[in-house]
Amino acid sequence: MVVTKALDALGLHWKRDPDFQPVKDAATIRLHVAVGGQVFELLVTGAKFFDTRADKGGGGAIDLAMHLLRLDFVAAVKRLSSSRVSSV
């Protein structure tokens, strides 16, 4: 699942940075994601993400949920599963 769809499934507010110019991969975009009172700056290419401020990255919706929401694996899977059911 691409990061933007995962963010939508998690119900998180995100905004693309229109001024960002990728250096290595032309498909890379920069997103700002609000979680509670914190804003994350993510470099995103497809399903992979890198948090520039935390210097951590990962791939896939579960990794993203674990990182942004500080969840363990089981809680991240449950959160994503419940959001998919409610969005149908």
59: in domain: yes
86: in domain: no
Give residue 79's identity as a one-letter amino acid code: R
| Residue-level pLDDT, tens digit, the chain, 88 residues | 899 999 999 999 999 999 999 999 999 999 999 999 999 999 999 999 999 999 999 999 999 999 999 999 999 999 999 875 444 4
Question: Backbone phi, then psi, for 25, in 5-degree steps?
Answer: -115, 120
Query: Order of strands, edge to edge, in the sheet holding 48-51?
Result: 13-16, 29-35, 38-45, 48-51, 56-59
26: in domain: yes
63: in domain: yes
88: in domain: no
Indicate the number of domains in the chain.
Answer: 1
Domain with 73, as residue range(s), is 3-80
Specify the pLDDT at position 87.
46
87: in domain: no
